[in-house]
Amino acid sequence: MDFNRIFGLLKIEPSEALESEVIEFKNFKDSAALFNSKDLCNEIVAFANTFGGHVIIGVRDSSELTSTNYVDQLVGFDNVDVDVTKERLLGRIKPKINLSITSFEFEKKKYLIISVQKNKNSLVSTSSGKVYVREGKSSVPAEPDQIQTLVHNLQTYDWSSQEIDVSDWLSLINKTALGEAKSDFCRRRGILLEHLDDVSFFESIGGTKNGILNYSGLLFLGTSEAIEKYLSNYEYRFSWKTANGMLLVNEVWNDCVWNSIKKVKRHFEELNKTLDFQYKANIYHFSLLDSQAFHEAFLNSVVHRDYSIDGMVSINYAGDELIITNPGQFYGGVNEENISFHEPRHRNKILAKLLMTFELVDRAGMGVLRIGLNSLKYGRDFPVWKQNLNNVEVRMPSEYIKPGIFVLTQNRLKDCSLTELLLLNKLHEVGFVSISELERDLKKKYRDPWKEIEKALNNEDLINYIELKANNQNVFITTTEAGDIALDVSRKFKATTNSEKHVKLFKHLKKHKSANNEEIKNLLKFSRASVTSNFLSKLEYLKNTGKSRSSTWSLK
C-alpha cells in the first residue's frame, strides 16, 4: 500500500473520507492510551476476520477539527518499542495472529502503522471472546449468521466432512445409484462385485469414516428426500435454447450427485449436435461444444460450490455461449485473475477426494486448464470466470469456429499448450502479434509469460508455422509461409532488413535485463559506436537511462 500517497491526501481531505474496509485512522496521546484501548483491539480483530487491513496511528479524527485545514489532523505519534507494542496488543487477541507494526515518517513526524493479515485458519476474537468484522468504514460485532459464514470460509473447515449420526444410514442411500457406483468402483479396482459389501464400499470411497456417514457420502449417493432432510434442498437446472430462442430443455431437479451427473451428461449428449463444415475442399466434423471442456466445467461447479448456502447449480446454453453457475465465492486465494495458474483449493475436501476416486475430478488440478485448451482448439475465446454476489460463473463461448485453427490442432498440432493455442488464435488471419501483447494476455494465466512463450518458440512442431521478426516499433511472433496457409493469413508481415539484430538484442535484454552501448555494439557487431547509437535511437520498444555512450538500455 502506498502510504506516502495516503498521507499526502490527508493534507487536503478529511480522514473520515479516506477510511475504508482496509484502512482505519486512530489517535492516542501516548503509548499507555494505545495499550489500554479496547477500540484498537476491536479494529484489529475486525480486519483479521474480514479482508485484512491497516490501522494508522497518529491521525486525528477530522470531526474533531474546527476548520478545514486538514493538515492539522496529522498530529503524529511518539516513538514506541515495536516489539513491546506487538506483545501487548496480541495479549488481548485470541488466537495470536500475524501482526506487523512499523514506524513511518512523513514530513518530519512519526506515525505507527499496524498491518493485519486476514486470518484464514480460525476466527479471531478479543480476549473476552467478542468477534468483530469490518463493514465498510466501521468495525462491528459479528452477528450469528456472519459468524457462521466466517467459519464456513475458513480454509481448514470442510463442510463435506461433517458426520450424520444415524445408525441405519444405509436406509438414506439411493439403492440404484449405490449399485451403479459400486459396480463402477469394482470395475476400476479389479474387484469382484460380490466380494465388496455396501458398508465396506462406503468406507473405501470416503463416504463414511469409522462406519459413520458423512455429508459427502449422503450428497453423492443419498436419496433426494434424505439429502433435503439432513442437508438442504440442493437443486440443479439444465436449460438449452437454440440460437433463434427456441427452448429445447428447461429442467430443474434435486437428486444425489451421482444421478445428477448422469442426467446432465444425458441432456448434453442429446443436444450437443455434430456439425459439418467444408474447408479447402475437405469435409470436417465438429461438435457444437467440446464434451471434455463441458464435463470439467460442470464437475468443477459441483465440487467447488458452497453447500452451506442456498442456491442451485445451473447450466444455461443460449446459442452463443454456455454459462455454468454455482453458489458460493472463490475459495483459498483463487480469484478471477489467477484461476488458470493458482494451485487448486478444495472447499469440500472429502467430496473432492470421493469424486477423484471415480475419476470425475482431476487429481492434478488441470480441470480449469483443460476447459481453456479445448475452447481455444475451436478458435474460440478463453472461458471467463466471474464472481457475482454469492455465485461463481464460467462463460464458455460457442458461437463460432475458426476452421484453420480447428483443422491444424486436430490433424497436425494435437498436443498444443495453452500458450501455443492462444498464439495460434492471435495469429489467425492477421499473421503477427507483438510479444508485449501476448505477454499481457498470458499474465492472467502464468506467473512468467515470457518463459511460456519461449517454450512455444522452441516447439519443433510449431516452428514450422511461426518465427520471431521485428521492426523499430516492436518484436513480433509472425507466421511463416506454412503458417500463412494454415492460418488463412492473406497479408504478409513486413519486417525490417535488420530484423535479426532486433531479435538478437531483444533476447539478450530478456535474459540480462539491461545492456550499455558498448555491450550492444559488440553483441550486434556494429563497426562504430555512432552506428550503434543511431540504431538504438529508433527503437520504440526500448528505454534508456543515462546519457550518450554511458546509456543503459532495457525493454519497456
pLDDT single digits (tens) 49-89:
998 999 999 999 988 888 889 999 999 998 888 989 999 99
pTM of the model: 0.69
Q: Which three cell numbers stand for residue 229?
A: 432432510
Confidence (pLDDT) at 343: 78
SS3 content of the chain, % helix, strand, coil (to 5): 40, 20, 35
Average pLDDT over residues 355-380: 82
Q: What is the mean pLDDT of residues 519-546?
A: 93
> What are the residue ranges spanned by the domains of the chain?
3-152, 160-230, 235-397, 408-495, 501-555
Please name which of 467, 463, 494, 490 lies closest in space to residue 478, comparing C-alpha atoms: 467
User: Would 235-397 and 408-495 be classified into the same CATH topology?
Assistant: no
Question: What is the model's pLDDT at position 145?
Answer: 86
Residue type for position 53: G
Higher pLDDT, 338 or 439: 439
408-495: CATH topology: Arc Repressor Mutant, subunit A (1.10.10)
Mean pLDDT of 199-214: 96
Q: Which residue has the higher pLDDT, 131 or 361?
A: 131
Confidence band, pLDDT 50/70/90 cuts, at residue 364: low
At 49, is the secondary structure helix, strand, or coil?
helix
Find out whether 241 and 248 touch, Cβ atoms under 8 Å.
Answer: yes
Q: Tell me what pLDDT residue 241 has.
A: 92
Closest CA to 46 of 27, 23, 69, 12: 23
Q: Which of 396, 453, 459 is nearest to 423 (CA)?
A: 453
Q: What is the pLDDT of residue 437?
A: 95
Task: Encode burial over 486-517: b for 16+ CB neighbours within 10 A, e otherwise.
Answer: bbbbeeebebeeebebbbbbbebbeeeeebeb
CATH topology of domain 235-397: Heat Shock Protein 90 (3.30.565)
Q: Residues 6 or more apart from 473 whose CB is under 8 A from it?
A: 540, 541
pLDDT of 365: 59
Report pLDDT for 121: 72
Task: For the chain, give the mean pLDDT.
Answer: 91
pLDDT of residue 336: 87
> pLDDT value at position 322?
94
User: DSSP characters for 396-422?
Assistant: EE-S---HHHHHHHHHT-TT--HHHHH
Which pLDDT band, with edges at 50, 70 and 90, does 363 fall under?
A: low
Residue 409's nearest CA partner among 380, 441, 440, 442 is 380
Sign of the CA dihedral with 105 first, then 107, 110, and 113 last: negative
Share of the chain above pLDDT 90, in %: 69
Q: What is the pLDDT of residue 64?
A: 87
**If one looks up domain 3-152 in CATH, what number appears?**
3.30.950.30
* pLDDT beyond 80 at 449: yes
Angle at CA 346, nearest 5°, toward 345 and 347? 115
pLDDT at 549: 65
The pLDDT-based confidence of 386 (bands split at 50, 70, 90) is very high
Q: Is the pLDDT of residue 380 over 80?
A: yes
Cβ atoms of 124 and 93 closer than 8 Å? yes
Residues 6+ apart with CB under 8 A from 292: 370, 374
Q: Does domain 501-555 have CATH number 1.10.10?
A: yes
Q: Which of 62-76, 250-264, 366-380 is least confident? A: 366-380
Work out the pLDDT band at 470, boundaries 50, 70, 90. Answer: very high
Question: What's the pLDDT tens digit per position in 305-326?
Answer: 999 888 899 999 988 899 999 9
Q: How would residue 477 be classed by pLDDT, with cut points 50, 70 and 90?
A: very high
For residue 76 the three cell numbers come to 503524529
483-523 pLDDT, tens digit per residue, is 999 999 999 898 899 999 999 999 999 999 999 999 999 99
Separation of alpha carbons 41 and 37, rounded Å: 7
The residue among 371 and 541 whose pLDDT is bigger is 541
The band of 112, judged by pLDDT with boundaries at 50, 70 and 90, is very high
